[in-house]
């Protein structure tokens, strides 16, 4: 299992702006309402607390702090992952957040903020799994199944970095939510879930010893918030992200959500 130090290394918030920009006053958005959409299925970035029913997570804390510093009111709404990028592109929401990997093809539909987090993908398996220990040995296990959400980075990693490049490969079982992929893994319906270190840490901690991580990281991803093309919120949010990085707020969120917080306890 990966160490806490490795998790934080994988989550290192990248340098976002020149140091001279940190001293500048942040824009004041005048108390306007900004509609932020999320999936609530990606712990510990954002999820529903099973104890309280409240929406919580790293991204909620970060967005609430950004709203405070830029003086806007947040209205949170929810939608499924497979609808989110198009919905934001269509101006149904002002901002989307759910650990969205910054990719050139997605930039054709939406604008991205500067990266607020860097993560790597890991292989999440049942704790008693002994048939494979890395991507190569999983690929050789011809009856091994992977659970993934269509159109996500884990899906494409499964197709092109583990399997044969066939996006219709029957070894990939598709699910609507990330949580459903983990449930299928725990239930024995599939054998592997690919996820970045943020979600892997949360689910391993919450599993009561039923899940583990195997193998080496399969790639590096930068996460960003998404906006409709041409949104005037991009620059202010980027300035706020830079400020949160500069004053240690992002480091504090990493400690809170990836060291101190234990899901389900």
- Domain count for the chain, please give it: 2
Mean model confidence pLDDT for the chain? 87
- Is residue 213's pLDDT more than 90? yes
CB proximity list for 204: less than 8 A, separation 6 or greater:
1, 124, 211, 212, 213
Question: Does the residue 89 lie in any domain?
Answer: yes
Predicted confidence (pLDDT) at residue 109 exceeds the cutoff of 80 = yes
- Do 103 and 231 lie in one domain? The reply is yes
| Contact assessment for residue 263 and residue 44, using Cβ atoms and an 8 Å cutoff | yes
Q: Does position 228 have pLDDT exceeding 90, yes or no?
A: yes
Residue 96 maps to which CATH number? 3.40.190.10
Percent of the chain with pLDDT over 90: 69
Say whether 111 sits in a helix, a strand or coil. strand
Q: What percent of the chain shows pLDDT beyond 70?
A: 88
- Residues sharing a CB contact under 8 Å with residue 143, sequence separation 6 or more, in sequence order: none
For the residues 17-38, what does the mean pLDDT come to? 76
Residues 252 and 179 occupy one common structural domain: no
Higher pLDDT, 255 or 163: 163
pLDDT at 198: 64
Residue in the block written with tokens 């699910």: 175
Same domain flag for 207 and 242: no
Q: 260 pLDDT band (50/70/90 cuts)?
A: low
Between CA 97 and CA 25 the distance in angstroms is 25
Query: In which band, very low, low, confident or very high, does the pLDDT at 259 lie, cut at 50, 70 and 90?
Result: low
Q: What pTM did the predictor assign? A: 0.69
Residues 9 and 21 both lie in one domain: yes
- Mark whether 109 and 124 lie in a shared domain: no
Q: Where are the alpha helices (DSSP H) in the chain?
A: 4-10, 19-22, 58-70, 81-89, 104-107, 135-140, 153-157, 178-186, 197-206, 234-246, 249-255
pLDDT of the residue at 22:
41
140 plus 77 within the same structural domain: no
**How much is the pLDDT for 153?**
79
- 108 in any annotated domain: yes
| Contact status, residue 28 vs residue 71, Cβ threshold 8 Å | yes
Residues 132 and 202 in one domain: yes
| pLDDT (tens digit per residue) in 156-209 | 899 999 999 999 999 999 998 888 999 999 999 999 999 877 678 778 888 889
pLDDT of residue 221: 82
Confidence (pLDDT) at 23: 38
Q: Indicate whether 265 belongs to any domain.
A: no
User: Could you tell me if 110 and 172 lie in one domain?
Assistant: no
> What is the C-alpha to C-alpha distance for residues 192 and 122, in angstroms, rounded to an integer?
10
pLDDT at site 19: 36
Asked if 250 and 13 touch (Cβ cutoff 8 Å), the reply is yes
Would you say residue 198 lies in a domain? yes
Inside any domain, residue 129: yes
Paired strand residues for 111: 227
Domain that holds residue 44: 4-116+224-260
Is 154 inside a domain boundary? Answer: yes
- Residue 175, phi then psi, degrees to nearest 5: -135, 155
Does 20 share its domain with 141? no
Question: For residue 243, is it within any domain?
Answer: yes
Band of the pLDDT at 5, cuts 50, 70, 90?
very low
| Nearest by Cα to 97 from 221, 223, 181 | 223
148: β partners: 174
Q: pLDDT at position 7, please?
A: 40
The token pair at 221 is 């991803």
Q: Are both 246 and 212 inside the same structural domain?
A: no
| Residues 207 and 161 grouped into a single domain | yes
Q: Is the confidence at residue 246, as pLDDT, over 90?
A: yes
106 three-state secondary structure: helix
Judgement on whether residues 70 and 157 belong to the same structural domain of the protein: no
Query: Could you give the CA distance from residue 59 to residue 42 in angstroms, rounded to a whole number?
Result: 10
Measuring CA to CA, which residue among 220, 230, 237 is closest to residue 14? 220
């Amino acid at each position: 299992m990966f160490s806490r130090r490795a998790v934080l290394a994988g989550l290192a918030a990248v340098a976002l702006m020149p140091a001279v920009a940190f001293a500048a006053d942040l824009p004041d958005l005048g108390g306007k309402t900004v509609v932020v959409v999320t999936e609530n299925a990606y712990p510990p970035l954002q999820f529903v607390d099973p104890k309280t029913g409240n929406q919580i997570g790293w991204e909620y804390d970060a967005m609430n702090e950004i709203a405070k510093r830029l003086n806007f009111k947040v209205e949170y709404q929810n939608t499924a992952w497979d609808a989110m990028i198009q919905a934001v592109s269509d101006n149904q929401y002002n901002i989307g957040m759910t650990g969205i990997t910054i990719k050139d093809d997605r930039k054709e539909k939406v604008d991205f903020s500067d990266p607020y987090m860097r993560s790597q993908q890991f292989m999440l398996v049942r704790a008693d799994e002994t048939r494979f220990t890395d991507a190569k040995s999983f690929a050789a296990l011809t009856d091994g199944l992977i659970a993934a959400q269509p159109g996500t980075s884990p899906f494409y990693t499964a197709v092109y970095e583990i399997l044969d490049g066939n996006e219709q490969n029957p070894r990939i079982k598709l699910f609507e939510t990330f949580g459903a992929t983990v449930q299928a893994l725990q239930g024995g319906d599939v054998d592997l879930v690919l996820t970045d270190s943020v979600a892997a840490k949360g689910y391993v901690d919450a599993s009561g010893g039923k899940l583990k991580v195997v193998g080496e990281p399969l790639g590096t991803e930068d996460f960003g918030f998404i906006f409709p093309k041409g949104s005037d919120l991009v620059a202010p949010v980027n300035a706020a992200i830079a400020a949160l990085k500069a004053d240690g707020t992002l480091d504090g969120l990493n400690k809170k959500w990836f060291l101190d917080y234990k899901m389900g306890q």
